[in-house]
Chain A
Amino acid sequence: MRTTRLMLGLGLAIASGAARADGDAARGEKRFDECAACHSVERGVNNVGPSLSGVFTRKAGELPDFRYSPAMKRSGIAWSAETLDSFVGDPQKLVPANRMPYAGMADASARADLIAYLREATK
């Protein structure tokens, strides 16, 4: 059941053209304003949301010192440009019942910019 839901989510992301590779990191830094109220890109700094440091090398729900929702922990997602694009686009669609209070970033090019920024900033 869980696997099915996850695959559906990924399927939709791929069907909608997946993540765009042409993001602009400088513009993405502005986009990150929407995330920065809860997320830091610094290592070990958990706020309302977990630190995003190293997110591209992590699986969802992996940080030992952050209290994730059960939905996020069992989602089994490996974070990548594609999965982040899908998640940020519609968080509740990819991981139903996760507890991030964010409605989603609808604009695909804005997401591409954000992900370009995250790729640099979370290294």
Chain B
Amino acid sequence: MATKLKEVDAVIVGLGWTGGILAKELTEAGLKVVALERGAMRSPANDYSLPNIRDELRYVVRHDLMQNTARDTITVRNEPKQEALPMRRLGSFLPGEVVGGSAVHWSGHTWRWTDMEFKVRSMYEERYGKAFIPDDMTIQDWGITYAELEPYYDKFEYTAAISGKAGNLRGEIQPGGNPFEAPRARDYPLPPLTPILASQMFNEAARNNGYHPFPRPSANASRAYTNPDGSKFGACQYCGYCQRFGCEANAKGSPHLTVIPIAMRNPNFELRTHSWVTKVLKDSDGKRVTGVTYTNVLNGEEFEQPAGMVLLCAYAINNVHLMLLSGIGEPYDPVAQKGVVGKNYCYQTGAGATLFFQGRRFNPFMNAGGSNDTIDDFNINWNFDRGPLGFVGGYNVAGGFNTVLPIGYRPVPRGTADWGKEWKAATAKWYQTAMNISASGSVMANRYNYYDLDPTYRNAFGQPLMRMTFDYKANEHKMGQHAAKVVNDIAKSMNPTHLNSATARTDPWTVVPYQSTHNTGGTIMGTNPRASAVNKYLQSWDCHNLFVVGANVFPHNASYNPTGPVGALAYWTADAIKNRYVKNPGPLVPA
């Protein structure tokens, strides 16, 4: 029997970037807020410090900062006719499980998604006609515009210490920046990171091929920085242990360095760690939520936390899971194409090449999470004509390094033995001489890529696991072929000693190896409750005092990393709650 606790104004489920931002903003507005985080408290001083943090076994192999799949995982399959099986070990993506969430172990890549995503269906239909979009491609406009989000992107970039170079300041194209980006009101708070040899070589080759390279914007502080809230950052030391690690130099923009400590100093805020939320509770008529139930995972004790508002801020997959477990919104049915919760699960795709240059020394162990140069010529460049190619979406191409670890990173020419003397000799010979060029591509929503509850497998709390049905479709295959060719053409123009060329992906998606922690959709945002689970303020259409925050609201996935719009939308939602919802609780958009 759950112990019923005292009601608070808002309960936040999961304390990463979105939970942290909302915790800070809402407690400053005077609301009493409790955050429930399933993971432990970790601090830079005690946990993310030298020499302990540089431990590939602990953080990379054993996933120390990530979700424990023995407690809860998902089941996966490629198509609805298959039987889904549980993912018993993390692989393809790595949800965080700690105060700070996945934003402790992210790389920091921070992009501004543009109207090419937010108006995806209307822009493609207008240019190419309705028939260009396949029947099973369930893309839709998001109901929000770049212009609305611009100030919130800005706020997130200044909070998270983004290093970069503006490409478009109020409509003026800036040399050295991304010429395709949407106009921004001001530059990044910090100049770009110091380039590394691999990113410089890629930059030169891309320019020689007629493309427009620029340094990737990233939450790796290029110099010491104090953000507008007074949070202090050290300068990135290019230590090479970025993705999957907490930052040892306080240089990576993360909520546990910024918004969370500010919330924790506020008497309106309380954090409870090791608290696993099992359900969101609804009132009798189902129009409002009344709180959540959770279990203290250290001792199994169960609690009910009543709250005036529930803010789901867990990892994208887990937010959707909680909606399904709580029976909020109609579950998506791919056959009848009815319902919304679970709809439009998307991922990302890619193609990569490894280039070997005998005699060059790339020092791959020295880099920041964002140490690469990128081109967007095939991504947010609307002049890139998809018409003859027949695909929707795009991909960016990057050259450089991100956390290629001293033990785990072993580049050798294709065809080398996988083990033994020959492999050892090859890895010693080639380690210093290799660099990578890779394309990261969007995935458009498809009718048959979705989430629902698994009929067979259950988690440690006896609840059905989330079932993920996903595979790449013809759209992604066509784009992959184009991307592989562009990558290989740039690579060949650099005249490497040896090239492991990029190949377009044709195999079905699998849970190994690591691909990207960019799972999107499931509770998508939109303009009406028939086609979306939440409105443009991430407010549930069904229960107006429930907000579902994170990449789970994206109606499709872009080529870009998701954290820019995730952070911006969290600030946008915080403003909507503070300035409108609290004064006049009810739907912020009429259904």
Contacts and interface: CB of A to CB of B under 8 A. Distances in A.
A42 interface: no
B200 interface: no
Contacts of A37: 224, 232-234, 249-251
Given A36-B232, A48-B250, A101 B237 contact: yes
A27 interface: no
Nearest to A103: B237
Interface residues of B, number: 21
B224 A48 contact: no
B254 to A, nearest CB: 12
A38 B51 contact: no
A63 B105 CA distance: 30
Contacts of A35: 224
B339 interface: no
A46 interface: yes
Given A47-B44, A99-B50, A99-B51, A36 B248 contact: no
A34 B232 CA distance: 9
B40 interface: no
A36 B50 contact: no
A101 B224 contact: no
Interface residues of A, number: 16
B45 interface: yes
B230 to A, nearest CB: 11
Contact of B45 (A47, A69, A103): A47
B245 to A, nearest CB: 12
B232 A101 contact: no
Contacts of A47: 44-45
Contacts of B239: 101
Given A99-B50, A101-B239, A38 B224 contact: no
Question: Could you tell me the dominant secondary structure of chain B's interface residues?
Answer: loop
Interface in A90-106: 99-103
A36 B235 CA distance: 10
A36 B45 contact: no
Interface in A33-76: 33-38, 46-48, 67, 69
A102 B234 contact: yes
A123 B336 CA distance: 73
B234 A99 contact: no
B399 to A, nearest CB: 24
Interface string B26-62: 0000000000000000001110111100000000000
B50 A34 contact: no
B495 interface: no
Given A33-B224, A34-B224, A48-B44, A101 B233 contact: no
Contacts of A38: 44, 234, 249-250
Contact of B49 (A33, A36, A48): A48
Given A33-B224, A38-B234, A101 B249 contact: yes
A69 B234 contact: no
A50 B214 CA distance: 38
A101 B224 CA distance: 13
Interface of A: 33-38, 46-48, 67, 69, 99-103
Given A36-B232, A102-B249, 15 more contacts: A33-B224, A35-B224, A36-B224, A36-B226, A37-B234, A37-B250, A38-B249, A48-B45, A48-B48, A69-B51, A99-B49, A101-B50, A101-B249, A102-B234, A103-B237
10 contacts: A33-B232, A34-B235, A36-B232, A37-B250, A37-B251, A38-B234, A48-B49, A100-B50, A101-B237, A102-B237
Q: Which 7 A-B pairs have the closest CB atoms?
A: A37-B234, A99-B50, A37-B250, A34-B224, A101-B249, A33-B224, A37-B232
